[in-house]
Amino acid sequence: MDLASGFFALSVYSITIFPTIDYIRTKLMVQKYFEVLNLFGQYKHFALSTHLNPDGDALGSELAIYSVLKELDKRVHIFNSDPTPDNYHFLPFRQHIKPPSEVRKVYSNFSPEVLVVLDAGSLSRIGDKLARQLQPTEFIVNIDHHQTSVPFGDINIIETQASSTSEIVYRIIQSSGLEIGKERAICLYTGLMFDTGCFRYSNSTSTAHKMAADLIEEGVSVDEVYRHVYDTVPKIRLHLLGDVLQTLETSSDGKIAWLKVTQKTLRKNGCDFSQLEGFVNYIRSIDSVEVAIIAGELENGFTKFSLRSKNRVDVGRICGLYGGGGHQKAAGCLIEKPIDEALAQLTDATQLQIDEY
Ligand SMILES: [Mn+2]
């Protein structure tokens, strides 16, 4: 197929007499898409990966790219450090995701020229071991939308305005002239739905909604995707939620709320960290709260934090102070301290930010 035809169509439609900033930005973005599409055309062997504890956007964008490369008749292998959570087992192509333990076997007769990393703010977010093992012979392509993203690739498509990495991948596929098709639409819709909090967050832009409309026209059944991702809760998760909500505390001004999750609580309920997904939203919804925090005790002496901001407080900046990152309204970090000490430090830093406003 002719990858140039999509580009031609776009340049015809986007002609304006007085180029606007948006026009120039779009033009530059599309140029990058074509750099990536050229690599897709030029090379034969590809490896794909995404961030640790993959979520809907990580998996959706990764699997959509997988399917594009397969359609272009390429040899492609997907390696993720962490397994695909059960609620994403409905995703098309997900059976092709392999664990790191299979890298050596696959690489005995496969050597990727290009590594495409999706939805990861830094290369180490795919896991340090995989980051070393998957080094390609020619190019690393980094496709991401995190504000704190590091341009670690040889080609970096970092669009912080995009709702999700899936939104960027959607545009890349559109530029290619390939059909989106139902299977890719399911992948991309899952990513879009997840990263916009089911179209509740402020990144649910008109662009995001237009993309959703297009994907629905490709045959996505929105209630089915929602049910798979959110409405299939194992009983143990509700028990865990009950225990974790007992730990709720707020700052004296009521603007920060936090939950604590210890190893003991996880063990008691037979859960792991993946089952905490979404808990932070329960406390973010408290009327006085500006910032919601979940602190999780890790086995290695670190404490893992997930932060959500309701309005203007930039939690990406707060997490950045501790080497973490993310977006203005959703971010995370690790602090090498016991949970209570780490939490005190983080809530102090958050309070400082809140007091600035
Ligand atoms: Mn994302």
Span from the CA of 102 to the centroid of ligand 1 (angstroms):
26
CA of 47 relative to ligand 1 center, distance in Å? 19
Asked whether the predicted pLDDT for residue 142 surpasses 80, the reply is: yes
pLDDT on residue 273: 85
Cα 163 to averaged position of ligand 1 atoms, centre (Å): 8
CB 323 within 8 A of CB 336: no
**C-alpha of residue 264 to centroid of ligand 1, in Å:** 30
Each residue of 182-226: pLDDT tens digit?
A: 999 999 999 999 999 999 999 999 999 999 999 999 999 999 999
- At residue 179, does pLDDT exceed 90? yes
**Close Cβ partners of 113 (under 8 Å, ≥ 6 residues apart):** 43, 44, 45, 46, 136, 137, 138, 139
Q: What's the pLDDT score for residue 12?
A: 47
Tell me if 143 sits within 8 A of 116, measured CB to CB. yes
Q: Place 1 in a pLDDT band, splitting at 50, 70 and 90.
A: very low
Residue 13 has pLDDT above 80, yes or no: no
Per-residue pLDDT, 17:
56
Render 220-265 in DSSP notation, one character per residue.
--HHHHHHHHHS---HHHHHHHHHHHTT-EE-TTS-EEEEEE-HHH
Share of the chain above pLDDT 90, in %: 84
Kindly give the distance from the C-alpha atom of residue 321 to the centroid of ligand 1, in angstroms, as a whole number: 21
Distance 17 CA to ligand 1 centre (A): 35
pLDDT at 148: 80
Q: What is the CA(162)–ligand 1 centre distance, in A?
A: 9
333: which residues sit within 8 A by CB, 6+ positions away? 304, 305, 307, 318, 319, 320, 321, 322, 323, 324, 325, 346
- Please determine, for residue 127, whether its predicted confidence score (pLDDT) is greater than 50: yes
CA of residue 73 to ligand 1 center, whole Å: 27
The domain locations on the chain are 4-230, 236-356
**Is residue 297 within a helix (H) or strand (E), and if so which, with residue range?**
strand 291-297
Q: Which residues pair with 141 in a beta bridge?
A: 116, 155
How many angstroms does the Cα of residue 274 sit away from the middle of ligand 1? 16
Q: pLDDT tens for residues 31-76?
A: 999 999 999 999 999 999 999 999 999 999 999 999 999 999 999 9
Query: If pLDDT is split at 50, 70 and 90, which confidence band does 24 have?
Result: confident
State the chain's mean pLDDT as an integer.
92
Question: Looking at the domain that runs over 236-356, which CATH code has it been given?
Answer: 3.10.310.30
Q: Thinking of the domain 4-230, which architecture would CATH place it in?
A: Alpha-Beta Complex (3.90)
d(CA 247, CA 280): 12
Going from the Cα of 115 to the center of ligand 1, the distance in angstroms, rounded, reads 18
Instruction: Please state, in angstroms and rounded to a whole number, the distance separating the CA atoms of residues 350 and 317.
Output: 10
Residue 47's DSSP bridge partners are 77, 115
Distance between Cα 331 and ligand 1 center (Å): 11
**Gap between the Cα atoms of 44 and 75, Å rounded:** 6
| pLDDT surpasses 60 at 113 | yes
Distance 255 CA to ligand 1 centre (A): 26
Residue 288 to residue 318: CA distance in whole angstroms: 20
Average pLDDT on 256-273 reads 95
Ligand 1 centroid distance, CA of 101 (Å): 25
